Amino acid sequence: MSEYREKPAPLHGAESLAQIRVVLVEPSHPGNIGSTARAMKVMGLTRLVLVRPRFFPHPEADALASGAEDVLQRAEVHDDLASALADCARVYGTTARDRHIQWPQSDARSAAQEMIAAAAQAPVAILFGRESSGLSNSELDLCQHLIQIPTGDLYHSLNLAQAVQILSYELQMASNAGVAPLPELPERGALVAEREGFYAQLRDVLLASGFLQAPREEHMMRRLRRLFDRAQPSGNEIDILRGILTEITRWASKGEGR
C-alpha cells in the first residue's frame, strides 16, 4: 500500500488559485520544470506557463513531477513573454537583487496576500527567471510588482523549484486565511496587452518629437512605465491615452505639410 494518498476533499481557495499562473522564463533544466509542477500541485496551483524552455517535454521533467504529470500536460508554451501575459491584469516578478529603477517590492508572504486578493477579479502571473541569471530588466518592465524571498547571510541562491515552492506555500496559506478581495473597481484594470500597446505607441510619439534620445531612451521609458503602473489605469483609460497620442500624431503630421 502506498504511503501517500490523494485527498478527496477539494482544495481550499481553488477559485482564486486557479486565476494565478506560474511563468518560467527560459528554464534550462527539464528537472526544474517537473519539480516546479510538483511544487505547484501540492499547494493547489495548476496553471504552468513556459516561455522558450530549452527542453520540454522531457522524460526528466515527467520523472520529477511525481504525481503532477497532469500539470505538465496542461502547461502552456509560448515563444515570447508578452503573449504569455497578454490577458493578465497584474504581474509579479521574482528577483534576487536590487534594481536601479525602483519597482514596488515586498516579501513572499505579503505579496501572496495581494495576489490572492487580486486574483478574485482578474488573472495574475508570477514570473520566475532563468536559473543562471534571473529576469532581465526588459522582462521586469512587464511587472507591476517585485518579490524578494529573504534568505540567510551565508548563502543567497535558491533553486528555481525551491523558489516556486515557497511562493506556492504562501499562496496556499493566504488562500486558506480567506484574504478579502480588493475593492471592486468601477472599470476593469488594463491588461498587459493593452498596456504594452500603449507603451509602444508612447515610445513612437516621444521618439518622433525628439523627447526620447540616446543614450537615455531606455532609462526614460522605464521611468514612464513605473509612473503609469502606479496609476493603475483601466482599460478604458488606456484607450483614452492612446486616442490622445493618435491625435497628437495626426496634428504633428499636418503641421509638417504646411
Mean pLDDT for 51-67 is: 96
Q: Kind and range of the H or E element at 97?
A: none
**Rounded CA separation 171/15 (Å):** 12
What is the model's pLDDT at position 7? 47
Helices (H), 6-145: 14-17, 30-42, 59-65, 69-73, 81-85, 108-119, 137-140
Q: Are the CB atoms for 27 and 50 separated by under 8 Å?
A: yes
Residue 157 pLDDT level (bands cut at 50, 70, 90):
confident
Q: Is 185 helix (H, G, I), strand (E, B) or coil?
A: coil
Q: Is 15-176 CATH 2.60.120.260?
A: no
Strands 145-148 and 105-107: parallel
pLDDT digits (tens, 9 = 90+) for 194-241: 999 999 999 999 999 999 998 889 999 999 999 999 898 999 999 999
Q: Where are the domains of the chain?
A: 15-176, 192-256
The set of cell numbers assigned to 98 is 536590487
Mean pLDDT for 85-94 is: 95
**Rounded CA separation 24/130 (Å):** 8
Q: Residue 60: exposed, middle, or buried by beta-carbon count in 10 A (0-12, 13-18, 19+)?
A: middle
What is the model's pLDDT at position 2? 43
**Does the model's pTM come out above 0.75?**
yes
What is the model's pLDDT at position 192? 95
**Rounded CA separation 228/191 (Å):** 13
Q: Which of 101, 134, 136, 125 is nearest to 221 (CA)?
A: 101
pLDDT digits (tens, 9 = 90+) for 5-21: 444 443 345 688 999 99
Q: Residue 141: exposed, middle, or buried by beta-carbon count in 10 A (0-12, 13-18, 19+)?
A: buried
**Rounded CA separation 133/149 (Å):** 16
| Assigned architecture for domain 192-256 | Orthogonal Bundle (1.10)
- 100 contact partners, CB below 8 Å, separation of at least 6: none
What is the model's pLDDT at position 223? 92
pLDDT digits (tens, 9 = 90+) for 30-44: 999 999 999 999 999
